[in-house]
Structure 1
Amino acid sequence: MVTTAADIGVLMAAVATPYDADGEVDMGLLTALVDDYAKRGVEGIYCCGSSGEGLLLSPDERTAVVETVVAASEGRLPVVAHVGALSTREAIALAQRAEQAGASALSMIPPIYYSFDAETIVAHYRAVLDAVDLPLIVYNIPQFTGTEFDVVTAGALLDDPRVIGIKQTAHNMYALERMKAAYPDKAYINGFDEVYVPAVAAGARGTIGTTVGLQIELFRAARSLLDAGDLPAAQRVQRRINHVISELVAVDVFPAAKYLSGRSAGGAGVLGDCRMPFRPLTADDRIRLDRLAETLDGYLAEL
């Protein structure tokens, strides 16, 4: 059971949601993916976020994904369920169902589309927290939501003991450091894999990322080097992580990462394409990603 910031996993995979040939969620593949992650050293699973296409899933699908991930983790890994939704009512329902499913903690983006002031956003979070007994990690992803949390705008939430941290999916290391300085007992978790090493230097406890499951071995190596005080070597590992990321971004990061993530559940591409409006990968995309897989295998072999 997650009760404090210290209970949150350090290197957590934002898991993709697999689909079968009919476009339905494939729970068998999801189970295989989580099991492989646990065996390879991933330290937690974050489900139904950006990488998991959470906002493209129905509420029933989101609940089923959480149930499956919790069952597949078999107590080996904490499971954080993203329950962000357009309405407070839906977010509450998703949070209650995630709690019943056995999630370790919740995470949530602020309400989107409509423009809400800071007081309204805080009230939205508190309404969800009041409806459950699970701790919550605020999901700060301003490029998608239009709301950016910093030491001022997040203060009312960070003052709440039920809020145990922030997933900082933003490149603003200054904001991260200022929050850490003001609220040192909270967990600040990097959300952009390409700045894992800089984020740790700024005060992040770890990372929750799209590519963590793909290259957990590289993240573990970078962490070990940081713990040993060898920053130049950690930076070299970060450059390899970033080469993989830049290739994924050149294709389309979420569909591309999902394609390669299938290697953990039976083979590249086995998880299916992302749902529309994401475009399907082309044959050229797949060739490029297969070449990237060979490069990644080379990086891992050198470890």
Structure 2
Amino acid sequence: MSPAEGLTSTARTRNLTQETRGRSDWPELPIRPAPSARRWLAPGREISSAARWVLRTVSVLAPLGAWVALSATKAVDPTFLPSPVAVWQAGVEMARSGELLTDTMASVRRVLFGFGLALAISVPLGFAMGIWRWALALLEPAVGLVRYWPASAFVPLLIIWLGLGEPSKLMVLVLGVVFFNILMVADVVRQVPRRLLEVSSTLGAGPGVLIRKVVLPHALPGIIDAARVNAAAAWNFLVIAELFAATSGLGYRIIRSQRFLQTDRIFAVLVVIGVIGIVMDVGLRLLRDRAGRWTV
């Protein structure tokens, strides 16, 4: 070893010793505290299956318990808030007379036809707006304007145009759902990663293959979720649709019961609508999970 190399090695050793001595003066790192009982507040934290079912049960029993308590204590006049027992009896009476089944079938038929027609219109248009910029520029201004027009405001026009039959009632549901669903579907399609499209194009996929095998599979779960949200809106507009010239339907039964102050029947019909809505929601959720198993 040359003298110069020896001096260099000695200097390096001296520097390392100084750095080590300086690091010994550094403050100790803070000790991470043990997870506290508030860790369930962490965003996105998973919960067990048992906890999930307990919370779901509480979400149902808590409002029901409040309802029973208000009825038992007579805090609210039974004319305005009937007891759960009275509502059950009213529902049984309507079921025995056959009117509940008739009204339910009429309303379900209207929702299925009206909501199905709204999906048949909105999904292709929203899909086109999400894929092609020219379709977005062409359709978004008109859709964005018309969606602020309340569907109930079209009732007089629909009666003039289509009469008092079923077509006018179905069109109320269509107008109440179609424009919102168009924009929701367009947003879902636009969320397809651009890099995924670029890679597929690089590998030789043409426009048709991109739409069928990349965009549609990726967007399908979101499209079904949009349908889940707007299915509830369809039931809301059903009551409006059955306000005029209807002789059957759950909305019609609510209006008729309101005239005679039969609040127990109104609550019974609301329970039926809620049960049907839950069945539709669960069905669409299962379809979403099956169509988008790759997202789980």
Please indicate the TM-score interval, normalised by the length of the shorter structure.
Answer: under 0.3
TM-score (normalised: structure 2): 0.21
Structure number with the bigger relative contact order (C-alpha 8 A, sep ≥ 6) is 2
TM-score (normalised: structure 1): 0.21
- Indicate the structure (1 or 2) with the bigger Cα radius of gyration: 2
